[in-house]
Chain A
Amino acid sequence: MTFEELEQIAAETRENREKSPRELNVCVAAGCLSLHSDAVKKSLEEEVKRTGATCRVRGTGCMGLCSLGPLVASEPSGQLYKSVAAADAAEIVKNLEGAPVPRLLCSREQPFFQRQNLIVLENSGRIDPEKIEEYIAADGYRALVHALTEVNPNEIVQEVSKSGLRGRGGAGYPTGLKWGTVSKTAGTTKYVICNADEGDPGAFMDRSVLESDPHRVLEGMAIAAYAVGATRGYIYVRAEYPLAVKRFGTAIREARRLGFLGSQICNTKFNFDMEVRIGGGAFVCGEETALIASIEGRRGAPRPRPPYPAQAGLWDMPTLINNVETFANIPSIVRRGGDWYASIGTKKSKGTKVFALTGKVRNVGLIEVPMGTTLRQIIYEIGGGGPEGHKFKAVQTGGPSGGCIPEQFLDLSVDYESLRELGSIMGSGGMIVMDDSACMVNVAHYFMEFCMSESCGKCIPCRSGTAQMFELLTRMTLGTATARDLELLEELCDMVSSTSLCGLGQSAPNPVLSTLRYFRDEYIEHINEKRCRAGVCECGSTVGVTA
């Protein structure tokens, strides 16, 4: 594959599209799909066939504003229709040329769309994720061809370092540094692994990217493999994401067909191929060494680091592990340069971040904003604020490893460091808004149950400590706890975070610590007054229930 050939495919694809420019793009990613967008698509196809209209009906990836799904975009006019039902097909097709259907219109001018800055999601909802040609028509695989034919691996690592990109899986380790280590470590075979074991409850960024634009991730992995000298790749996807598995499988086959995977890619000496590995429902496998154990077919129990996977990973070989969103940033960085990427974001956190904005907020969906955007902008401008009649209480980031951030910090600009200072973490990007109908003790209890059940059981602090913390929190929610139990809980938080073997245990106390930090009075009420102000816990009297 050469630039000329790439351009030819892109040109043909665009040409075909221009021949009959009218198309109806139906989101068939998970959110809209669970609102039966497949039925909408079928109905539109039938209607087009019945009326003989010249219009293509395509299934595309996520358009972002999932709470108003199923979403349908009408091109070339650019109209976006919301909450479309199968029965609306006739009206939509009838009005293809004339005025749009006002009843279904969803403005693209609203802050939800205007406030975003799309890099990772630039193709989401715009291309058919199952057609490689459409990705190529959107400048896809140019970065890979450029990397392989015009620059050496070292330069790629440097470019990524220059971009300031940090791991999007949660911890924020500098990506360029990681690549550099793997590239410098000698090994007979090196591996690249994409961590798509998005286990945080309330997060669906990776799912959406894989379902909406799988080639972007694949291209990022191939570039990474070239940069670090790897020849084999794995993508470890949750079993709960069958559509993502299917679409990525299709993407691999298509990429092989066009020679982006296999041997002597782009007529160079670079060989690289990859396969999908399906997870088994274990949150701990998001941890690098556990994930490696799982790919090796073993129990997903983490092992002590060092050695880090970059030195001794899969089958003890140097292994690069990055998360989906990290890889998805790579093609843009390689195409547009590290400096361009570094111009976006804050001093220490560059680029954009994709968030799954959910919970008690009007506009639920997938968003991508520059690092440094404030929580208030995200929740109130993009998210449209919470539902009527309820007061904002906290936003939860980082899932079971993160924390709850209260109102007084909403003007904080979001980056890795600022969130950590508040006792939460960036995590993979789940952002769950909670209002006064949520009880913070109950939320801590919920996450502790999660960590307890997801603990692999290998090290004692995590295995037994989470079970103890869960018991103590249970007592609080039931109104049987004493002040002594709170002391023990706090001692355990310190001990489990300081002594656990891996990140799961080390961060398991975070939801408790952050709620204790900002909502200690709620704990005290549960203990001293046997009262839950949100009326969620059955801890005796429910005096003070708001609405």
Chain B
Amino acid sequence: MPLTSKKPPLPSEDKRWRIVNGTMRRHGYARDALIETLHTVQESFGFLDKVALRFVADSLRVPLSQAYGVATFYHFFTMKPPGEHVCLICMGTACYIKGAGALLNEAQAALGIQAGETTADAKASLMTARCIGSCSVAPAVVFDGETMGNVAGKNLREKLAGWRPA
């Protein structure tokens, strides 16, 4: 907790902390850099954990409760490490009207997990998005950052099967 005004030391030798520190420095360690910094943490580490939140909160002199409140308010931030592969199904209206619900069911069945979860072998995570703005090619699914449009159940099954060799 920020009982002193000194900047806290980096949590570990991990070089990614310097990237995080860089974002904060660029914003002059201003409190309003909290969300920007959390984005950097998530980009660098894939998720936020309490070590990171404490480090960022202490550096920016944001109360811990506020930092945690912010991190959990915005659904883009995740507190769990993602799997090796991430399948993100868009549930926007256009996709929903064109069968995104069925795709989600297929993906849940194929991976044996619910949306928001990661397989036990940490191979794959299944996520949903509110709308990724690819409505013109609905239904859309993002596989490891790459958007695929007009997705049919078959494409989805093939792609997921490729991630988890039986």
Q: A517 within 8 Å of B by Cβ?
A: no
- Residue of A277, A358, A430 with highest tally of chain B CB at under 10 A: A358
Complex contact A295–B140 (CB within 8 A): no
Are A364 and B93 interface neighbours, CB within 8 A? no
Is the pair B130, A199 in contact by a Cβ cutoff of 8 Å? Answer: yes
A203 to B137, CA, bound (A): 12
Contacts of A294 in B (CB 8 A): 35
A275-299 near B? 1/0 per residue, CB < 8 Å: 0011111110000000000111111
B149 x A277 contact (CB < 8 A): no
Q: B74 — which chain A residues lie within 8 A by C-beta?
A: 279-282, 300
Distance, CA A396 to CA B92, complexed state (A): 13
Asked, given contacts A34-B147, A35-B149, A358-B138, whether A240 binds B132 with beta carbons under 8 Å apart, the answer is yes
**A360 and B97 form a contact (CB under 8 A):** yes
B33 at the interface (CB under 8 A from A): yes
Contact yes or no, B133 A203, CB < 8 A: yes
Chain B proximity mask over A190-211: 1 for CB below 8 Å, otherwise 0: 0000000011111110011000
Residue of B nearest to A206 (CB): B133
Question: What residues on B are CB-neighbors of A454 within 8 Å?
Answer: 130
Chain A window 403-442, contacts with chain B (Cβ cutoff 8 Å), 1 for yes, 0 for no: 0000000000000000000000000001010100010000
Within 17-76 of B, Cβ neighbours of A (below 8 Å) are at 30-36, 38-39, 60, 62, 66, 69-70, 73-76
Q: Does B136 sit within 8 A of A, measured CB to CB?
A: yes
Interface contact B135-A358, CB-CB below 8 Å: yes
- For residue B148, CB closer than 8 A to chain A, the reply is yes
Q: How large is the interface on B (under 10, 10 to 19, 20 to 34, 35 or more residues)?
A: 35 or more
> A201 near B93 (CB under 8 angstroms)?
yes
The answer for the CA separation of A447 and B91 in the assembled complex, in Å, is: 11
Contact indicator A280/B35 (Cβ below 8 Å): yes
Q: Which residue of B lies closest to A66 (CB)?
A: B136
Are B136's CB and A358's CB within 8 A? yes
Asked if B129 CB lies within 8 Å of chain A CBs, one says yes
**Size of chain A's interface in residues, with CB distance under 8 A?**
54
Most buried by A among B32, B70, B92, B131: B131
Q: Mark A47-75, 1 if CB is under 8 A from B, else 0.
A: 00000000000000000001101000000
A282 with B75: CB separation less than 8 A: yes
For chain A residues 422-468, which have a beta carbon within 8 Å of chain B? Answer: 430, 432, 434, 438, 446-447, 450, 454, 456
How many angstroms from the CA of A533 to the CA of B57 in the assembled complex?
53
Q: Which residues of A contact B135 (CB under 8 A)?
A: 202-204, 356, 358, 364, 430, 432
State the CA gap A136–B157 with chains docked (Å).
47
Given the interface pairs A34-B148, A399-B93, the reply to whether A297 lies near B134 with Cβ below 8 Å is: no
Q: How far is the CA of A434 from the CA of B97 in the complex (A)?
A: 7
Contact B73 A34 (CB under 8 A): no
Q: B39 contacts which chain A residues (CB < 8 A)? A: 239, 278, 280
B47 to chain A, nearest CB (A): 14
B 138-166 to A, binary, CB cutoff 8 A, 1 in contact else 0: 10100000011110000000000000000
A145 CB within 8 Å of chain B: no
A359-B94, A399-B93 known; A201 and B35 CB under 8 Å?
no
Alpha-carbon gap, A278 to B30, bound state (A): 16
Q: Name the residue on A nearest B66 (C-beta).
A: A298
Provide the residues of chain A in CB contact with B91, threshold 8 Å: 201
Query: Residue A240 contacts which of B31, B35, B69, B129 (CB distance < 8 angstroms)?
Result: B129
Q: What 0/1 readout, one digit per residue, does chain A (228-256) give for beta carbons within 8 Å of chain B?
A: 00000000001111000000000000000
B93 lies within 8 A of A282 (CB) = no
* A236→B32 CA distance, assembly (Å): 13
Q: Which residue of A lies closest to B35 (CB)?
A: A297
Q: In the complex, what residues of A have CB within 8 A of residue B147's CB?
A: 30, 33-34
**Known contacts A30-B147, A35-B137, A280-B77; is A295 also within 8 Å of B32 by CB?**
yes
Q: How far is the CA of A456 from the CA of B73 in the complex (A)?
A: 8
**A280 contacts B76, CB within 8 Å?**
yes
Assess the B36–A430 pair: CB atoms within 8 A.
no
Chain A residue nearest in CB terms to B99: A437
A31 to B137, Cβ gap below 8 A?
Answer: yes
Q: Which of B85-102 contact A (CB under 8 A)?
A: 91-94, 96-98
> How far, in angstroms, from A52 to B133 measured CA to CA in the complex?
37
**A200-B93, A280-B39 known; 6 other A-B pairs, CB under 8 Å?**
A34-B148, A281-B76, A297-B35, A356-B136, A359-B94, A399-B93
Residue contacts A-B, CB under 8 angstroms, 21 given: A30-B132, A33-B147, A34-B134, A34-B140, A66-B137, A69-B136, A201-B91, A202-B92, A202-B135, A239-B39, A277-B36, A296-B31, A298-B66, A300-B73, A359-B93, A359-B138, A364-B94, A364-B136, A365-B136, A430-B135, A447-B93
* Closest 8 A/B residue pairs (Cβ): A280-B74, A66-B136, A281-B76, A202-B93, A34-B147, A201-B92, A201-B131, A204-B133
